[in-house]
Every structure is written in C-alpha cells, then in structure tokens.
C-alpha cells in the first residue's frame, strides 16, 4: 500500500502533539506525549511511536517547534558577532530610544544579542545612489582576524544601504566564510533587504544568533526521522507556511513563531469547513496562550513583531502571546496579592496534581479542583491527575491569603482569564476589530476550558471547539502550504511610479520564486504610507490596473486601521512584497452521525462559586448532531471543554462542537 499519511508534529513547552491525516477512511490519528526539553527530537519520535505510525505510510511530515523561540526567550543562542560600517558599531545598542515602560525608570530594555566587545567595523560606505567609499580590504582583514580571535559561532553582517547595494556586504560575507569555516554568517541583504537600519540590524543579528542552535536541532531531527524511514520534515515558518528543512536552517529568524503559526493555520482551516471565516483563535497550552485574528479565512501577518524585546521585521502570523497556560504557577507577591504566572511549572515537575514533585499550584490544579478536569485523568500517557494533590497545594497557598482551596482555585482561574482576555482585546479591539462579529476557535489542551467565559467577557456569541482541538497546531502543520516570502525595497512617491515599473519589479520577484517552488501561486502586496508617517500598511496589490488604484486601496486600508483617510496627502510606496505558495492536499473532515447521546457520568463542578452536579459527555461517543446544554463538561481526546450555563452546542458535520450563547441565532440542524 502506497504512502498516504500527512503528519504534523508540534513541539510545545509541555507537550508534543501529533496529527496524522489521510489514513484508512480518511480519518485523523492523534497523539499527545510529554515534551523532552533536553532533546526535542526524542519527543517527536515518542509521539510517532505512541500513534503507531508506519513509516511506509508517511508521504509528508511538517514540523513546528520552539527551539528558536526558547533560545531567544532564554538568551541561549550562539556566541554572535556583528560586522558593520565604521562609525555604526552601536546601532543595536542605540535602537529606537523608546522605553519598555515610559514611567518606570528602573526598567530597561533587554541587552542586545551582540555585546559591544563582539561588534567590529570595516571602512566602507554606500548611499542611496551608490558607492561613496570603496571597501577597505585592510580593515576587512583586521575584522576577520579579530573574529577568529574572539572564537564566535556566528556573525551578522549589516552594512549601511546594503539593502540597495549589497556588493560590499557580499564581499565581507565571502571573506568570513573563507576564513572561518564552520561559523554561520548572516547577511542583512539576504535576511532582510529593507530600509531602517536598526530593524535590519536586529533581525539579522537574531538570525545569526539562532541559526547554529536551530541547524543542530534540525540535523538531529532529520537523522532520527530518516533513520526511521520517514521523509525529511518540512518546517513551519512564522508566516504560516512550511519550507524545506535546509531553507529553515538558513533562515532561523523566520521560524521564531513556528509553533503558534501552525495553530492559527489549523484554526482557519477547521473553522472554514464549518462555515466561519472571521475568527479569533485562542490557543492555551501548558506554558502560554496564543491569540490571533483570522479575517476572511486568512491568518493576518505582520512585519512589526517583537519577540523577547528583539524586533524581527519578517512576515509573521499576527500572534499575541501571554504567559498564561495550564502550567502557570499561582503565587503571592510581596504585597500579599494573589498572582498567576509568568513562571510555568512546565513538563517537569509540572503542576502539583502530576505528583512529580511540583508543590506550587497552577491553573491546571485550579481547573482540576473545581471539577472541570477528571480526577485520575491521564495526560500524554504518562501523567495521572490527582485532585487531592491539587487541593493540598491550593489550600497551602490559600492559607497565606486567608482563603480556602475553593476560593483560591476560583481566584486563580479568574486571574488567568483576565490575562487572556486582555490578550484577546489586543488583537481585536485595539486593531479596530469588533470581537462581537467574530467566532472564537478554542484549542490547545486548556483552551476549551476557558473559552465560554472569555467569550462572554468580549460579547462573543459563538465558540468553536474542533474535535482535534487538543492538537490543532499539529493539524495546522499537516495542512500548511509550502510558502516563500520575498521583498524588494522601492521607496518612492506613488504618483511617480508607473504601471510598467511596478509590473517589472513584481515579475523579478516572481522569477526568483519560480526558481524555488514548483508552479507557485503568487500573491502581490505592497507597503504604503502617507509621507511623513513612520510606519507603513500592507495593501493587496493583485490585479492592479494603475498606481492610482493602489493608492485607493491604501486609503481604504488606512481608514479601516486608523479610522480616517487623507486622500489629499501624498502616498509613498516603501516595499513590494510577494507571497508564493504551493497548496498541499487537504483531506476533508467528516463526522459520522451520532449513534447515542448517552452521558458517561455526572460529577460536581463549580460555577459562579457554587457546586453543581453536571453531565460529563465523552466526545468519542458523540457524533454529528449530538447536542449539549450547559452547564456541562465535554471530554475530548486531548482537551476538555467547559460549557457554561447559558451556552448550548451541537457537533457539526466536520466534527466541530459549535457552541452558541443562549439567545444567539441558532443554526443547528
């Protein structure tokens, strides 16, 4: 039998999730195992063994991971140096002169990825119109000798105006690669050929800083999977598409949000099958929660991301992350107030209920104590939840606050919801989007536990819980398109650019894409701004008849984003962008009709501070047409959904539990 399975494997901070699509009958196979932080590739292989995946059946394997993310968050990247134009050694340090907290004089921005003693210069200079000072070869030899002496693992090369005139930068890169074999070299003209020195320097430094760690991990993973007879993995980028392993290893900064991007793609895919295209995705895992907007079925991307204080100006799914997850630890601050996070118990020792040595209560402990999670439930095939241990930890913490275990658990859940609700407002209200017009897609191991309450706070009336919600990021990986992003700087008044010039520039980008992908589909975009503005807006540039039409689209986009337009002002073109994609086969999801609506059990759960006996339904025993009335609990294979009072739902034909707030228009049946 020929291979037919498409694998998606997502490595998170606590669990590693696997989804296999396209097996017998077109069904879904899922697995969830504990992550292995010491070597994440071990967790990947454990997931495959747990799911009993036959190597001969695998036709494609897509992978999302947190290697680059964690290296940046924990500052555990490579020993990195910077080579730049003489006189500009401190661009990384000077940055933009903004403060993380305007009125907090004790808080400073994180230190630069490259310390000052590892920043070196060469004598050269180009300007907007070309050469001003030839590259001095003697200064280059001195820089190379200093780098050899410093014993660095990676070098970022960032020269002024190299995004327009890369010749000097290419020469420096050639000299470094020849003199320092084994040292990774990132050129800004290859990583980010755009103007704005600081953002270009920062992004290129991050690429160099992360590349050795990511390359080593991907090489290890490739050896593991190919040794098992499985195809080499495709790697998820932050932009929401996958690339070949070798490409990902060469473009480490583009993979910083690899895991969260898979979740947004999965949410858009599954919700689209259910007929919902305007979404707020809500992914709550063990360590953090990721939220993102999806409009018209497409995940929004941004080039203005900042990760752990480091600007990375590459296309990324517009995800906002907060440190509120199932493993977030509850604690008492110096003022005697209950706090939750940002510290996480992680996979080891994990929440107190794991019985693995953790003594501090977490959000998971609170949900277990309140009856939302099953006492004795198994997680990842290795962990058994024990409510008694959760109660002891909550009671001990509550004793310091004058609260009992129940009151402490309610407080922990409320604080976690406050943090996650704030994140959802950042990606909706603060971007001019009305959350009441969106459906929420709740996934991750803990997302459906909190979804109804968060939706109520935002005035949302529809919550979607996919059948594979506990592993939806892995599902998103399995259905992600191959994608490459290209950019070309073109700073000019839009009125001074004719249609032929635009077409020629886009054709040049498309020729590059055609050399990388087989028969890709092109999506043309452009960055525009009003003259004098500091930042630009991405605008759809497909099917243009003239630059005037592009200006009209920009005015419309500006009004949607900021609430006003200035048609009398000059519009400036900043960058041309091209997204090239090759679609992968996406199996249709189908849910068999319900055979029985028999409830598995009833148990006590706490709603509004009161204990109530509520029905607990086993999702595995439900099917298309199965209904649920809140308050209730629905137990999925990889997650648990709390249906609050005033909510009701039905499983649709693709296996998604569609929950509606009572009083909202019903579309069941």
Residues 135-150 have a mean pLDDT of 97
pLDDT > 90 fraction of the chain, expressed in percent and rounded:
65
Q: Considering only CA atoms, which of 309, 367, 249, 281 is closest in space to residue 607? A: 367
Q: Check residue 666 and give its pLDDT.
A: 45
Residues 463-474 have a mean pLDDT of 91
Q: Check residue 665 and give its pLDDT.
A: 46
Q: Check residue 381 and give its pLDDT.
A: 64
Q: Check residue 633 and give its pLDDT.
A: 96
Q: Summarize pLDDT for 570-599 with one digit per residue, the tens.
A: 999 999 999 999 998 887 788 888 876 556
Q: Check residue 3 and give its pLDDT.
A: 59
- Give the three-state DSSP class for 605: strand
Give the confidence band of 667 by pLDDT, cuts at 50, 70, 90: very low
Q: Which residues pair with 607 in a beta bridge?
A: 610
CA distance 651 to 40: 35
DSSP state of 278: S
Please count the other Cβ atoms lying within 10 Å of the Cβ belonging to residue 44: 26
Q: Summarize pLDDT for 594-617 with one digit per residue, the tens.
A: 876 556 789 999 998 999 999 999
Q: Summarize pLDDT for 49-82 with one digit per residue, the tens.
A: 888 888 888 888 999 988 888 888 788 899 999 9
Q: Is the pLDDT of residue 660 over 50?
A: yes
Q: Summarize pLDDT for 254-274 with one digit per residue, the tens.
A: 999 888 899 999 999 999 999
Q: Is the pLDDT of residue 1 over 70?
A: no
Q: Check residue 669 and give its pLDDT.
A: 37
Q: Check residue 598 and give its pLDDT.
A: 59
CA distance 395 to 408: 7
DSSP state of 430: G
Residues 436-454 have a mean pLDDT of 95
Give the confidence band of 185 by pLDDT, cuts at 50, 70, 90: very high
CA distance 205 to 307: 13
**pTM recorded for the entire structure:** 0.87
Count the alpha carbons within 13 Å of 67 in the hemisphere toward its beta carbon: 35
Q: Check residue 668 and give its pLDDT.
A: 40
Q: Which residues pair with 601 in a beta bridge?
A: 616
Give the confidence band of 23 by pLDDT, cuts at 50, 70, 90: low
Q: Summarize pLDDT for 337-347 with one digit per residue, the tens.
A: 999 988 888 76
Q: Is the pLDDT of residue 25 over 60?
A: no
Q: Is the dihedral of CA 350, 356, 359, 362 positive or negative?
A: positive
CA distance 30 to 589: 14
Q: What is the mean pLDDT of the chain?
A: 90
Q: Summarize pLDDT for 375-421 with one digit per residue, the tens.
A: 998 876 678 899 999 999 999 999 999 999 999 999 999 999 999 99
């Amino acid at each position: 039998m020929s291979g037919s399975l498409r694998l998606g494997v997502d490595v998170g901070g606590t669990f590693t999730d696997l989804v296999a699509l396209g097996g017998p009958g077109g069904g879904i196979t899922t697995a969830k195992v504990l992550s292995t932080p010491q070597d994440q590739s071990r967790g990947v292989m454990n997931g495959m063994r747990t799911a009993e995946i036959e190597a001969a059946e695998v036709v494609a394997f897509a992978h999302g991971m947190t290697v680059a993310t964690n290296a940046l968050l924990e500052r555990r990247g490579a020993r990195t140096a910077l080579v730049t134009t003489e006189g500009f050694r401190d661009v990384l340090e000077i940055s933009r002169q903004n403060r993380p907290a305007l009125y907090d004089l004790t808080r400073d921005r994180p230190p630069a990825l490259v310390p000052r003693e590892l920043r070196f210069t060469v004598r050269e200079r180009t300007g907007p119109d070309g050469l001003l000072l030839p590259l001095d070869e003697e200064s280059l030899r001195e820089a190379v000798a200093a780098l050899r002496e410093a014993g660095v693992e990676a070098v970022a090369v960032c020269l002024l105006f190299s995004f327009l005139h890369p010749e000097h930068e290419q020469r420096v890169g050639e000299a470094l690669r020849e003199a320092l074999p084994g040292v990774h070299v990132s050129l800004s003209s290859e990583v980010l050929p755009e103007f704005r020195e600081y953002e270009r320097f920062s992004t290129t430094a991050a690429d160099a800083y992360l590349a050795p760690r990511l390359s080593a991990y991907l090489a290890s993973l490739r050896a593991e999977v190919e040794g098992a007879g499985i195809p080499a993995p495709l790697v998820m980028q932050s932009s929401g598409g996958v690339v070949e392993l070798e490409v990902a290893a060469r473009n480490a900064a583009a993979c910083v949000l690899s895991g969260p991007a898979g979740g947004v793609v999965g949410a858009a895919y599954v919700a689209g099958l259910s007929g919902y295209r305007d979404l707020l995705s809500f992914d709550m895992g063990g360590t953090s929660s990721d939220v993102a907007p999806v409009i018209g079925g497409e995940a929004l991307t941004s080039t203005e991301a900042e990760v752990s204080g480091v600007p990375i100006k590459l296309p990324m799914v517009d995800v906002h992350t907060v440190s509120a997850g199932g493993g977030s630890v509850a604690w008492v601050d110096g003022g005697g107030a209950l706090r939750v996070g940002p510290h996480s118990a992680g996979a080891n020792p994990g929440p107190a209920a794991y019985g693995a040595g953790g003594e501090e209560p977490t959000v998971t402990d609170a949900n277990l104590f309140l009856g939302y999670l099953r006492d004795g439930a198994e997680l990842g095939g290795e962990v058994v939840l024990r409510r008694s241990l959760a109660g002891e930890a909550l009671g001990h913490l509550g004793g310091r606050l004058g609260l009992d275990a129940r009151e402490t658990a309610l407080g922990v859940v409320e604080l976690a919801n406050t943090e996650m609700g704030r994140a959802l407002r950042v990606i909706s209200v603060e971007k001019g989007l009305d959350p009441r017009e969106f459906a929420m897609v709740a996934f991750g191991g803990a997302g459906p536990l909190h979804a109804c309450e968060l939706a109520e706070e935002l005035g949302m009336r529809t919550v979607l819980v996919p059948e594979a919600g506990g592993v939806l990021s892995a599902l998103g990986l399995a259905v992600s398109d191959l994608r490459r992003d290209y950019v070309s700087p073109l700073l000019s008044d839009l009125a001074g650019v004719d249609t032929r010039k635009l077409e020629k520039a886009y054709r040049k980008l498309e020729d590059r894409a055609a050399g990388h992908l087989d028969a890709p589909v092109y999506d043309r975009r452009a960055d525009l701004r009003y003259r004098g503005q500091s930042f630009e807006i991405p605008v759809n540039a497909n099917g243009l008849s003239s630059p005037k039409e592009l200006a009209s689209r920009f005015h419309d986009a500006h009004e949607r984003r900021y609430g006003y337009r200035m048609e009398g002002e000059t519009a400036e073109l900043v960058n041309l962008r091209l997204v090239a994609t090759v679609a992968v086969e996406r199996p249709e999801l189908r849910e068999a009709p319900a055979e029985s609506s028999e409830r598995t059990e009833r148990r006590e759960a706490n709603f509004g501070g009161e204990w109530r006996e509520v029905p607990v339904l086993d999702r595995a025993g439900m099917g298309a047409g199965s209904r649920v009335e809140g308050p209730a609990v629905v137990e999925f294979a990889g997650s648990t959904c709390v249906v609050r009072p005033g909510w009701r739902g039905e499983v649709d034909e693709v296996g998604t539990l569609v929950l509606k707030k009572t009083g909202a228009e019903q579309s069941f049946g």
